[in-house]
Chain A
């Protein structure tokens, strides 16, 4: 009898039945998709970024379609930590899927307070630190822009939580690998990358930016080759330290997911593809299984980081 393919992975100590998770900001807190798909079939669910206080978000227009992609400038609209715990988490607790809470702050203190509050809370399987938020104490420059601020932030959050701690890296930096390394040294259990790429779009009739926020984050298939390169760069630097990486950025097919896994991703996050195909995760899992069978792998973990390089 043929052995079943084992798709389970345990990046950063988070036990997932499959390597395909949904990325933060594209799946809300799960409720909206409940009637359409089985949340338990997701590897993990990363909820929309949560701040300490509720945030109203940016004025519209918030999204713009671009070639094979889209720009968004939602502005971290969310219900705030307390409402999340009271109203959103009980819904998510009905499911077995690991829930990872993406957290954002305007200063280190905010991150620390959110992380401390979520530590040991039932139904939370991990934290993902969004270090792309503007740091108000540094004139709005994001925390993740420099290795130094990243290191300091991660170290402070690390002290207040025992939960698996992922740090989500921004591609809008000079050396993403150095920042990944800094996060790891400061105590991160895993990295996720990439966040969106900064971009812009102009309405030529009005001669105005299409987004009210002027700039937005580019996502979708258009960014996949860039995301894959960042994945490769970070993996090369972090490989000796065995830190797991969640690969994301434009993944829409099993082929895309396999490229990230071969480049070193222990799991992959799906985002924008969900908007046009809410059932895409199951298809990607099926495609990964098919590939593993054809290439005589018994489990997906054995494929992670198998990229062959000359010399």
Chain B
């Protein structure tokens, strides 16, 4: 965990309403794993007061352009609230106060031969870092790796080419049917599961609450391990304030408790989350 100011290298709108920010942050890039996040102070003022959490979208990626280096990290965000709208205004060259990497990311120690990633809208954020980690860093023998990208419409489909570059099979679901499957990402997931041997697969997902809830149900019904990255309003981001909790039932002991999304998560097992 590190806190300090880092340089903004790129801050650009990649598709309408979605931004990508690249930061030079070697201390974070060195330590970070997929699924972890950084806690960002969008500006040095009392408004907004609290930091904002952002999943790491890419960690220490090899360059595509000259300006990109191993010590860069990327975040993906949607300027929807007070903090993210300010973030969208921050130009490259300025410094940004970040704290991280934080939280418990995806667990890749599990045995799986098929990886199924499901991203709903902004939920894409941690999944590209995960794909990088599975394919490049872990270099593990994954027989098949799928990504289901859910979006409202074709022009909002994120990161399609990045996943293809990693050799993954990309499936797209749009609400209006302008690209790929017409309907929900979860329905496309069910369809995919009906066509493949999913016995040694794991589902990794991030997206709207209703989508994750449905994926948790699918994961439990079909007995497929699932790892879900949750979102929450956060205070400290390091586990001290206990403000960002989610109700969880321990898979072994069945004991119910509140767990901190920032410290015990943001990635939780699909079966342990109690949806209320």
Contact = CB atoms under 8 A, between A and B. Distances in A.
B236 interface: yes
B236 A274 contact: yes
Interface string B2-33: 11000000000000000000000000000000
Contact of B233 (A25, A64, A68, A220): A64
A44 B242 CA distance: 21
B245 A57 contact: yes
B235 A70 contact: yes
Interface string B232-268: 1111111111111111000000000110000100000
B51 A36 contact: no
A6 to B, nearest CB: 29
B236 A26 contact: yes
B244 A60 contact: yes
Size bracket, chain A contacts: 35 or more
A68 B244 CA distance: 19
B236 A57 contact: no
Given A36-B1, A57-B258, A68-B47, A74 B263 contact: no
Given A56-B258, A276-B50, A32 B238 contact: yes
Contacts of B51: 275-276
A277 B99 CA distance: 9
B49 A70 contact: yes
Interface residues of B, number: 31
B265 to A, nearest CB: 12
A35 B240 CA distance: 13
A300 to B, nearest CB: 26
A25 B241 contact: yes
A56 B259 CA distance: 10
A64 B51 CA distance: 12
B235 A63 contact: yes
A74 B241 contact: yes
B244 A275 contact: no
Contact of B49 (A27, A35, A276): A276
Interface string B212-236: 0000000000000000000011111
Contacts of B241: 25-26, 28, 63, 72, 74, 275
A69 interface: yes
Contacts of B257: 56
A64 B232 CA distance: 11
B269 interface: no
Nearest to A221: B46
Contacts of B233: 61, 63-65
A7 B247 CA distance: 44
Contacts of A70: 49-50, 235
Contact of A33 (B47, B240, B246): B240
B41 interface: yes
A65 B48 CA distance: 8
Interface in A224-272: 252, 272
A70 to B, nearest CB: 6
A232 to B, nearest CB: 23
B182 to A, nearest CB: 28
A108 interface: no
Contacts of B276: 59
Given A60-B246, A61-B233, A68 B258 contact: no
B238 A72 contact: no
A261 B248 CA distance: 44
A278 interface: yes
Contact of B240 (A27, A67, A220, A277): A27
Contacts of A279: 3
Contact of A74 (B232, B239, B243, B246): B243
Nearest to B237: A275
Contact of A278 (B3, B49, B239, B246): B3
Given A56-B257, A62-B243, A72-B243, A275 B232 contact: no
A279 B236 CA distance: 12
Given A26-B241, A63-B234, 10 more contacts: A28-B239, A32-B240, A56-B257, A70-B49, A70-B235, A72-B235, A72-B241, A74-B243, A220-B46, A272-B49
20 contacts: A28-B239, A28-B242, A32-B238, A32-B239, A36-B3, A60-B244, A60-B247, A61-B233, A62-B245, A63-B235, A68-B47, A77-B242, A77-B258, A220-B46, A220-B49, A272-B49, A275-B237, A276-B41, A278-B3, A278-B238
Interface pairs A-B: 5 shortest CB-CB = A63-B243, A28-B240, A68-B46, A32-B240, A32-B239
